[in-house]
Structure 1
Amino acid sequence: MKILHMLFHPHMETSSVNRVWNEMISQSDQVETSKDMYALYPSLNIDVEREQQDLVEHDRILLQFPFYWYAGPPLLKKWIDEVLLYGFAYGSKGTHLRGKQMLVITSVGGSEEDYHPGGAQELTVDEYLQPLRKTAHLCNMDFLRPLRMYDAAKVDKQVIRAHGEQFISKLREEVAVRKQIRSGDDIVVN
């Protein structure tokens, strides 16, 4: 499985969580390609052909970003608008993403208790991420359960690294299972 990791963070210089995760994920042997999208496109002029080619060449797309204002950063929305075009990503001839996977990895400043019915934010993070789920669905992609860390503004480096290790471990396990399936080996589930 070829994994494409894209980091969408407009202020990496002030990030604690996403900076550490980005280093961990981009150095992981599970990830084929890792890109810091704001560093790649500081003027926000996206190379659509390059981005589409990267999508075609990978099986799983990791979208990493800080969750604020109930969504992802502006470049993520611009990227979706400009790259996931009719005829490429969806529509009768837009089959390039069919069967690929989308995985969101996000840091949330608020507490988990805030993000539920009756909490300060009223909805869950998963409910706020519905536009990404619907985008994946429109593109015939599998939307995997998002990975998130709450209280991002308050946690120490050990907790941040522990979450990063969990993400990488999950990627490693899933890649190993896919390799076994492709090779025809028996898979034992305990």
Structure 2
Amino acid sequence: MPKILILFAHPAFERSRIHARLLQAAATVKDVTIRDLYQLYPDFDVLPQVEQAVLEQHDIILFQHPFYWYSSPALIKQWLDLVLEHGWAYGKNGTRLQGKHMMNVLSMGGNEAAYTPQGHHGHSIKEFLLPFERTAGLCNMNYLPPFLVHGSNTLNDQQLGEYAARYVQLLEQLKTPQLGIPQP
């Protein structure tokens, strides 16, 4: 069974209703590991060898975070810069992530229409996530479409529950042979 790694980053997690709910739901799914990067690395002193060992044990890597200023919280950038080393993740002999899958799980205050060429932000989420997609490509990973929670500031409890249920459904689906991940 493929193993899923959720690399979670939220600098103000205590204020996040949606990510608290999503993580609670994800924790119920077998073969899912959750790593809270701000809890592990409050001083941004990421340990590359530790993170690389964790990556090697998983088949699917999810970056779960709020969509801050059209990107991720700073700790994810720090993590990427330090962990995905040349010769390990990419470049000559950098094949340790080859064939794995990567995707984003994002919350954002804006609604779906805001993230269109005609919308408030002038671009699609896909365009804003191009650095993640290219990172996956450079590391010979398959980049999967993101799981998006739009309008996160206005969701009621029922809507939060629906997103949490969809997240569990996605995590279960990611572990099926239809995704193309070889089953052990």
Q: Distance in 2 between matches of 1:182 and 1:39?
A: 32
Question: Which stretch shifts more, 115-124 or 20-29?
Answer: 20-29
Q: Pick closer, same or farther for the CA change 1:141–1:113 going to 2, 3 Å.
A: same
**Kept in 1: contact 2:29–2:171 (CA 8 A):** no
Q: Distance in 2 between matches of 1:63 and 1:175?
A: 17
Q: Distance in 2 between matches of 1:2 and 1:42?
A: 26
**Kept in 2: contact 1:30–1:172 (CA 8 A):** no
The alpha-carbon deviation at position 181 of structure 1 amounts to 6.7
Q: Structure 2 length normalisation: TM-score?
A: 0.93
**Kept in 1: contact 2:25–2:167 (CA 8 A):** no
Q: Pick closer, same or farther for the CA change 1:53–1:180 going to 2, 3 Å.
A: closer
**Kept in 2: contact 1:64–1:106 (CA 8 A):** yes
1:75 aligns with 2:75: yes
Matches within 5 A, 1:38-187: 38-177=38-177, 182=183
Q: Pick closer, same or farther for the CA change 1:129–1:28 going to 2, 3 Å.
A: same
Q: Distance in 1 between matches of 2:53 and 2:94?
A: 14
Bigger Cα Rg: 1
**Kept in 2: contact 1:66–1:73 (CA 8 A):** yes
Give the number of equivalent residue pairs: 182
Q: Distance in 2 between matches of 1:3 and 1:111?
A: 28
Q: Distance in 2 between matches of 1:102 and 1:125?
A: 16
Paired amino acid for 2:59:
D
Paired amino acid for 2:10:
H
Instruction: Give the structure 2 partner of residue 10 of structure 1.
Output: 11
Q: Deviations over 1:60-105 (max 9, x none)?
A: 0011000020001000000000000101100011000000000211
Q: Pick closer, same or farther for the CA change 1:180–1:17 going to 2, 3 Å.
A: closer
Q: Distance in 1 between matches of 2:181 and 2:92?
A: 33
The alpha-carbon deviation at position 126 of structure 1 amounts to 1.4
The alpha-carbon deviation at position 171 of structure 1 amounts to 2.1
Instruction: Give the structure 2 partner of residue 188 of structure 1.
Output: none
Q: Pick closer, same or farther for the CA change 1:181–1:136 going to 2, 3 Å.
A: closer
